[in-house]
Structure 1
Amino acid sequence: MPVQRPPVRGRVLALAVAFALGALVAGGAVFGMTRPSSIEQMADQIRAESALRDKTQIKTLTELARTTRDRLVPVLDGLGRALPADGTAGPVVVTAADVENWRKAATAAVEGFADPPSGETATNVARSSLTSAVRQIATAVDTYAAARDLTGPARTTAMDLTVRQRADALFTWSVGATALDAVNVDAGYGHQHVFLPTPGEGELTPDNEPEGNHDS
């Protein structure tokens, strides 16, 4: 008795169904192995939120740096006229009211950087450098105020210390301003050159890129 074979069409259909089932099973297995886990998804979300928060902090910090720079320029100009870089007494007359105004400006600048938020490492470096510079400027003003009441070698020593503190403050600010420029470029805001005027040498200076330019 001849053997009954399934119709060719039936065999093709059966193979197609088997292939489709196998593909579904294999695809599900691959998806299960490659899809992000809930922990990975959470980590990605945290990173995205952190990056967005840091961009906001960078913009706020840049605005604070500009305001602080404008506040401190008259202070540094006054100290520069009273105490040239070589430490000798300048030709200008500095009154007690002048010194008090410098102190108020420096104190306001220090308060502006109080209670800093925590950001990304590069932003924290920029903020910390600017904060340190502002505190050094405030200290230089206090040292100068104290030196005015001294005489002889003690006065000379204190005035020289004021000059050195001012120089250190300008250098530290230049470091912070350079770091601030870099994080602004990385954040997509372009170059932001928030530097203090520096009469001496050794400080970092702004690059030649136009303000707001996005090229690194």
Structure 2
Amino acid sequence: MLALTVAFALGALVAGGVVFGMTRPDSIEQMADQIRAESALRDKTQIKTLTELARTTRDRLAPVLDGLDRAMPADGTAGPAVVTASDVETWRKAATAAVEGFADPPSGETATNVARSSLASAVRQIATTVDTYAAARDLTGVARTTAMGLAVRQRTDAFFTWSVGATALDAVNVDAGYGHQHVFLPTSSGEGELTPDTEPEGSHDS
């Protein structure tokens, strides 16, 4: 009877060891889980940093966009606002600083990269708009009108590209648990742009 009991106990231990050996995660799976966890944590940090950068950039570009809007109405003609060479130089400096803010981007998750790339592209387009406007100021007649129209189109494209990035940024913030973050550029036209949803800032989807 004792021998039978011992044999049963040994069998149970052996069987348990076999089951554990077959079901426990191997080192590769454990490593993969660790990498995924570290990547998710790193991405959450990047999302927060990117959102702060987007807000800072938006505030930096607001005077530039306001000046362009007053000096260069949507129809591409010269506006009533008086713009000096000093004004244009100030816009250029602000736009250049905004572009530099997105230099050397870190590599993150795909959705975060899409948001960052869209915002960075929009900022470069705004800088180009300022350059085109500056060049148009030195022209006259049809050439000036054509160049102004091109600058208006570049500005429109910049607004749209930023709205794509801002929408993507809002989505990754919600996924990361930060809630809605509506970092959109101030614009008077809104034509063809994606707009923020109606969820309150910082709220989470129900």
Q: Compute the TM-score of the two structures, normalised by the length of structure 1.
A: 0.92
Q: Calculate percent identity across the aligned residue pairs.
A: 91
Q: Secondary structure at the match of 1:130?
A: helix
Q: 1:74 aligns with which of 38, 63, 67?
A: 63
* Unmatched runs of 5 consecutive residues or more in structure 2: none
- Higher-Rg structure is 1
Between stretches 140-149 and 24-33, larger displacement belongs to 24-33
Q: Secondary structure at the match of 1:196?
A: coil
Q: Secondary structure at the match of 2:197?
A: coil
Between stretches 111-120 and 85-94, larger displacement belongs to 85-94
Partners of 2:134 and 2:40 in 1: CA distance: 44
Partners of 1:178 and 1:13 in 2: CA distance: 72
How far the C-alpha of 1:136 sits from its partner, in A, is 0.2
Partners of 1:65 and 1:79 in 2: CA distance: 20
Equivalent positions of 1:1-216 (< 5 A) are 12-198=1-187, 200-215=190-205
- Once the two structures are superposed, what CA deviation does each residue of 1:36-63 show, in whole Å capped at 9, x if it has no partner? 1111111111111111111100000000
- Once the two structures are superposed, what CA deviation does each residue of 1:107-148 show, in whole Å capped at 9, x if it has no partner? 000000000000000000000000000000000000000010
Between stretches 101-110 and 200-209, larger displacement belongs to 200-209
How far the C-alpha of 1:196 sits from its partner, in A, is 0.5
How far the C-alpha of 1:24 sits from its partner, in A, is 1.1
Between stretches 101-110 and 37-46, larger displacement belongs to 37-46
Question: CA RMSD for the aligned pairs?
Answer: 1.1
**How many residues are aligned here?**
204
Q: Secondary structure at the match of 1:203?
A: coil
* Unmatched runs of 5 consecutive residues or more in structure 1: 1-11
Q: Compute the TM-score of the two structures, normalised by the length of structure 2.
A: 0.96
Q: Secondary structure at the match of 1:30?
A: helix
How far the C-alpha of 1:87 sits from its partner, in A, is 1.2
How far the C-alpha of 1:86 sits from its partner, in A, is 1.4
Between stretches 169-178 and 38-47, larger displacement belongs to 38-47
Partners of 2:170 and 2:5 in 1: CA distance: 62
